[in-house]
Structure 1
Amino acid sequence: MDRRAVLKASLAFAAYFGAPSMAAISRSALAADVDIADGSATTFDFDTLRQMALDLSRQPFSGPPGELPGTLATLAPQAYNAIQYDAEHSLWYDIEGRQLDVQFFHVGMGFKRRVRMFSVDPEQRQAREVHFRPELFNYNDAGVDTSQLEGQDDLGFAGFKVFKAPELTSRDVVSFLGASYFRAVDDTYQYGLSARGLAINTFTDQTEEFPDFVAFWFETPKSASDTTFTVYALLDGPSATGAYRFVIHCEAERVVMEIDKHIHARAAIEQLGITPMTSMFSCGNNERRMCDTIHPQIHDSDRLAMWRGNGEWVCRPLNNPQKLQFNAFADDNPKGFGLLQLDHNFDNYQDIVGWYDKRPSLWVEPLGDWGKGSLNLLEIPTTGETLDNIVCFWQPEKSIEAGQEYSYRYRLYWSARPPVSSPLANVYATRTGMGGFIEGWAPGEHFPEVWARRFAVDFVGDSLKNPSGGGIEPVITISGGEVRDVHVLYVEPFDGYRILFDWYPTSDAVDPIDMRLFLRSGDDTLSETWLYQYFPPPPEERRYIDDRVMS
């Protein structure tokens, strides 16, 4: 990024919020009882931000982040994590008895975008910038040469985190860091999957874009007892800009975000992702290919859940496929969807580092008329748990044209379970394994040529107790092959029913097999719909191998 582009971007900010106060930035010390927002006051409200996003969209994109001072650009992850914000300089430190407070992340390592921060007085409708200075941080053993940071008036910050009851706990509940990524926790204080402000060309022939939140404005809470705060964000990227308002409720057992965003397209966009979510699924009950570890399961989320516009509830277990898979589920005005982590039993993970049993679910509640589109799911092969390999987002059906504005409102619920669930029976678990033999036995000399895949789908719910139609009938639809040996079994330990069936190939094809299952009794639907995608092995691998050595 050249100096002219940097200057153009800086002037665009200055036109709305004033130029940095060099006198304030050059202060060598900062007292704890002084407001850290040292910039000059400028008028601000959401309408101002929306106009700024519109004006910014009419200018060329300023380019990728500029280079950081060498001492920050070369930081290793351990060194970066050693840099800690000084809690006595947190944004609302001077509010006695406060329930919320904000601290900022240092730029460095891979976090190169210089994000500007502003404190907003909502009554006066005025914003003042918080400028970077080394005195705001404790560098501990990070090995940072702070002399390289002096006079860096435009260094900014990488992001921010929010603490609830900061006098009682040092654990944050909300974090915005990197591009437009953000996360929140429930009452376990354990982070899991992430959300994004926007996704662009995630699965197209075009290069995927990751637009950045380049500035945030924090409204000062009206009272110390507030557990709700409002933060505004400006998004900027090659193909779009955006104005965002987040009203964030830090409740006792969950975090709820009310989001109002207005996107301006700089250019035509082939695939615009609204409410993108990013998670990790390495292995679980249904997919154990990568579970050769001490852990029975490894995942941040175990399913995609959908409450479709027509009222249908859908459960789609996640996969870690051997090759990239993309699925689009068409809908009209969806009622809700999310990536869920519903198994919170430690015994099923045995993980004392990742604590996957504590990871929250994320549920999206659309507000207003979203119209037609599709809920898209991208599953990427992964060999472990360090990389997110699941992406989910809503894609509007209408084309995204340059110069147009697109507005969306929705709520995000970060909690152990979603705020709503199907009144019908729910999918409790999905399991797969070798089939083609009587349950309780194993393939042996009597079944030398038989190969099949067995599926066990467990359902729980009151609708299964006394079905009005008499019995419980599984309705199974598949896109290829054939289903045999279907059984309906009551399972007392979880007080529900297990649907067992074997899938047999009818060709050598290895195309994914789409499966659909729901329960009914007579004309009554008893359960949500289970969707699954199975990947048959090649013909030469469709056999059982006896690797015993008898001597």
Structure 2
Amino acid sequence: MAVETGALFEQVTNRAKELAASPYEEASAELPEALTEMDYDRYRQIRYRDERALWKDDGDFEVELFHPGFLYDQPVDIHLLEDGEVRSLPFEPERFRYDDDAADLAELDLSGLGYAGFRLHYPLNRADYKDEFAVFLGASYFRLVGRDQGYGLSARGLAIDTALPQGEEFPAFREYWLVKPQPGDTHMTVLALLDSPSLAGAYRFDIAPGKRTQVDTEARLFAREDVEKLGVAPLTSMFLHGEMDRRQEDDYRIRVHDSSGLLMATSTGEWTWRVLENPESLQISGLQDTSPKGYGLVQRPQHFNAYLDMEARYERRPSQWVEPQGEWGEGHVELVEIPTDSEAHDNITAYWVPATPLMAGDSRTYRYRTWTFGDTPTAEPLARVVRSRQGWGGVPGQSDPPDERLRQFIIDFRGGELEGLDASQPVEMTLTTSSGETAEAKVTPLPDNDTWRASFTLLPDGDQPADIRLTLMLRGERLSETWNSIWSP
């Protein structure tokens, strides 16, 4: 009997339910030491043979596979659903070239290993070339790019106990089912089985590449243990330094980050822009809401002169949005910022934490749509933050300078109703802070006639951090995103 995608997803769901009803068994794979001990440069010398791509020359989609080794020492089982039949995909060393420093690996018996993950290809930018647009590799991580974008931030299937004292638990996809698209299809489906000590889950990803590469996700979770902190639809990124930094960086580049801010659209219509930072110590904050309209990690600005990096090309890094489908109830978007001294480390993560905990024996389903975009989602109607700056609040050379702790902030907004707004209009700001004293608040149009600047000073209250929020208003109507920053003296 032919198997349909929906029926297969039900089978994967039943597998997840059965897993959660039994004790957790850690995945184990005995890889040759030559694979587990290799470094990044040697791993890169293992190359997939393009001519062995799955479904090559049979439609618009192709799949290439990743070799196990280096950091990817837990192979996954990969199955294909083709023409109503499910079959497993055994590991075949012949699919790979072992070049240069990896040449000796071709002499090893690597049969029966399993693959580390896979990547999806589609004619995204040109009709005559199939670009890589999605990668599933490592634990529950996957990365997406849209048209003319380069890889940056990552998404994850789930986050558990992130930034808690007992340490984070990393759920991992153990098996995948790749559904072969039909001729003319513009999307493909991936099913996945997730497992971890606290829970198991079945995932369905319907992935459509394009200018904004979009994934419709359904996650069915089954708890075998109580989960102290459940992080739904996590996004993970890197922020080393940017425009609000207070520390002097020995770096010719103006900014180094994959994302510059967390953007959230609340259920009440407010859009909050939370400036990212590389903190001195671990920093955790949350934005409360009931069934938010969406949230994402955003890369602003998106032009070369903002970064000056010809290799990393940070201006091409995608932003990514998460739009809940259905009611998610009460909870908060949690932002975790971890100190780092290297752009090689992802130190930023954001996810939804439901107010109702997931207890042993519970099951829960989350549906959401996530997609890549540029510097602002198309649905955002308000003026957006284009610059955030801060520095000492005095003027060099003053005979009677102010308190050395005094900070001057400027935030520039553009777009929305600000476009073409005459300078005579009485634009003002609402400004709040959780501690310290603000003063000299004013709103000024800039000479380009497109941008409006909000500025103010903050005198901190000792060592107390200040949670600052600012919104531009016109005659009682909100004009802009709510700019938000946590200032730590």
Same fold (TM over 0.5): yes
User: 1:527 aligned to 472, 480, 483, which one?
Assistant: 480
Alignment of 1:85-484 (within 5 A): 85-95=48-58, 98-121=59-82, 124=84, 126-141=85-100, 142-150=102-110, 152-153=111-112, 155-165=113-123, 168-169=128-129, 171-223=131-183, 225-251=184-210, 253-289=211-247, 291-437=249-395, 442-447=396-401, 450-464=404-418, 465-466=420-421, 470-484=425-439
2:159, 2:170 within 8 Å by CA — same for their partners in 1?
Answer: yes
Deviations 1:70-120 (A, max 9, x none): 22111110111111111221111251xx22100110000110111011110
Question: Which SS does the other structure have where 1:149 is aligned?
Answer: coil
Which residue identity lines up with residue 459 of structure 2 in the other structure? Y
- Output one character per residue of 1:242-299: Cα deviation in whole Å (capped at 9) or x when no partner: 1011000011x12100001101111000001000010011111112526320100111
TM superposition shift of 1:421: 3.8
After superposition, what is the alpha-carbon deviation per residue over 1:201-260, rounded to whole angstroms, capped at 9, x for unaligned? 00223221111111111111110x433111111111111111011000011x12100001
AA of the residue aligned to 1:323: S
Instruction: Tell me, in whole angstroms, the C-alpha distance in 1 between the residues paired with 2:150 and 2:452.
Output: 32
* Deviations 1:371-391 (CA, angstroms, capped at 9, x unpaired): 111100001111121111101
**Aligned counterparts of 1:448 and 1:102: Cα–Cα separation in 2:** 62
Gaps of 5+ in 1: 1-41, 537-551
SS at match of 2:191: strand
1:487-526 matched pairs, under 5 angstroms: 487-493=442-448, 495-505=450-460, 507=461, 509-526=462-479
Tell me how far apart the structure 1 counterparts of residues 33 and 314 of structure 2 sit (CA, whole Å).
Answer: 36
The structure in which a higher percent of residues are strand is 2
User: CA offsets per residue over residues 16-42 of structure 1, 9 Å max, x none?
Assistant: xxxxxxxxxxxxxxxxxxxxxxxxxx9
2-side partners of 1:43 and 1:343: how far apart? Answer: 41
Whole-angstrom CA distance in 1 between matches of 2:404 and 2:75: 61
Q: Deviations over 1:317-337 (max 9, x none)?
A: 111111110012111011011
The answer to whether the 8 Å contact 1:365/1:410 transfers is: yes
Counterpart for residue 77 of structure 1:
40
Could you tell me how far 1:309 is from its partner in structure 2? 1.2
CA shift at 1:492, angstroms? 2.5
Which residue does 1:546 correspond to in 2?
none
Give the number of equivalent residue pairs: 482
Change (3 A) 1:140 1:497: same
Q: Is the 8 A contact 1:173 1:189 kept in 2?
A: no
Query: TM-score, normalised to structure 2's length?
Result: 0.94
Tell me, which stretches of 5 or more residues in structure 2 are unaligned? none
| Maintained 8 Å contact 1:117/1:217 | yes
- CA–CA distance in 1 between the matches of 2:397 and 2:443? 22
Q: For 1:449 and 1:338, how far apart are their aligned partners in 2?
A: 37
Could you say which structure has the larger radius of gyration? 1
Q: In structure 2, what residue type is equivalent to 1:113?
A: Q
Distance 1:228 1:76, change over 3 A: same
**Cα RMSD (Å):** 2.2
Letter in 2 for 1:179: A
Kept in 1, the 8 Å contact 2:383–2:416? The answer is yes
Alignment check: 8 A CA contact 2:98 2:105 kept: no
The AA in structure 2 aligned to 1:74 is E
User: Residues 313-366 of structure 1, C-alpha deviation per residue, up to 9 Å, x if partnerless?
Assistant: 111111111111001211101101100013111011000121101000000011
User: Cα gap change, 1:286/1:80 in structure 2, threshold over 3 Å: closer, same or farther?
Assistant: same
Distance change (3 Å), C-alpha of 1:60 and 1:348:
same
Tell me, in whole angstroms, the C-alpha distance in 1 between the residues paired with 2:104 and 2:139: 23
The normalised TM-score by structure 1 is 0.83
User: What amino acid sits opposite 1:284 in the alignment?
Assistant: G
